[in-house]
Structure 1
Amino acid sequence: MKIIKYLFCFCFILLALSNYAQSPVLKLIVPNVESAQGDLQVSIFNNDKTFLKEKEEYRIYRFKVEKDSDVFTIDDLPQGEYAMIIFHDKNSNKDLDRSFLGIPKEGYGFSNNIKPHLSAPDFRDCCFSLVKDTKIEIELLY
């Protein structure tokens, strides 16, 4: 009988710890996607040394854009500080298409809705804390 009590306590502790270890849910709201064509790419960075450097993202997510879809869910990021850039990859080529002058041809946006002027923003400008379930809205720049 004593073993059953210990087993019960052990299972209870494991259950409590598993709920504690769950990642917070990040709901990304993008209200102005122009069309249901292509994908939305979300690039997540977790430090200023890699921010906006190609192939150095902490995580990349791709979501199929569907008619009337403007909420995208990320549920596997651990608690921490992050910055993100998103873009509407209309032709699904996994690249932000640009003009010959380097100006983006597809909609893009940064966390905290930072609008770059003459240079790209830095990590601190775009940084947000993910410690609990969070909603972030980013409007695409066209």
Structure 2
Amino acid sequence: MNLKFSLLTGNVLALSLLSTGVFSQNIKVNLTEVLSEKGQLMVAVYNKQDHWLSDKPTEIFAQKIISLEGQITNKTLQFTLELPEGEYALYLFQDKDNNGELKSNWIGIPKEPVGTSNNAKGTMGPPKYKDASFQVAAEDIVQNITLANMD
């Protein structure tokens, strides 16, 4: 499986637009092991197992791009997403060269730091949607994600 995907700036869906529904909840994300402020954080929100890790903008529920400069404290970045009730999984990476794509080696292992909701890990490949997915219901939730530096 190829982990490389692109978050195109022109197709970024502002997550704040999703908060217009009565049932939107805050998802506070604590991202740790952010070792540099270089580049930007690319966040993809998926809500269907068969779309998991797709790079097609129509299959990504929402996307967010966060500039890292001046945002990191003690190797930690905190940000909030607003999502309506439902099941979701997050995949994110630190786009160190600001090209909108995850760099990977010839066998698909990421060369830029990556993370997933629930800190889901894959075995001989990317993590599974069922391991990364979580429910958004009537209460705000927290996702603690450790950024994995694989290179």
Q: Which amino acid aligns with 2:99?
A: N
Q: Distance in 2 between matches of 1:96 and 1:117?
A: 19
Report the TM-score when normalising by structure 1: 0.80
Q: Distance in 2 between matches of 1:32 and 1:59?
A: 24
Give, in angstroms, the shift of residue 22 of structure 1. Answer: 4.9
After superposition, residues 84-99 of structure 1 pair within 5 angstroms as: 84-99=90-105
Q: Which amino acid aligns with 2:141?
A: T
Give, in angstroms, the shift of residue 135 of structure 1. Answer: 1.0
Structure 1 residue ranges, 4+ long, deviating more than 4 angstroms after superposition? none
Q: Which amino acid aligns with 2:35?
A: E
Tell me the C-alpha RMSD between the 2 structures: 1.7
Give, in angstroms, the shift of residue 107 of structure 1. Answer: 0.3
Q: Gaps spanning 5+ residues in structure 2: where?
A: 1-19
Aligned to 1:100: 106
After superposition, residues 42-121 of structure 1 pair within 5 angstroms as: 42-55=43-56, 56-67=59-70, 68-69=72-73, 70-75=77-82, 77-121=83-127
In our comparison, the structure showing a higher alpha carbon Rg is 1
Give, in angstroms, the shift of residue 102 of structure 1. Answer: 2.1
Report the TM-score when normalising by structure 2: 0.75
Q: 1:34 to 1:21 in 2, by over 3 A?
A: same
Q: Distance in 1 between matches of 2:127 and 2:90?
A: 11
Q: Aligned pair 1:38/2:39, yes or no?
A: yes
Q: Which amino acid aligns with 2:34?
A: V
Q: Gaps spanning 5+ residues in structure 1: where?
A: 1-18
Identity of aligned residues (%): 33
**Equivalenced residues, count:** 123
Q: Distance in 2 between matches of 1:121 and 1:31?
A: 19
Give, in angstroms, the shift of residue 101 of structure 1. Answer: 3.0
SS in 2 for 1:138: strand
Give, in angstroms, the shift of residue 108 of structure 1. Answer: 0.2
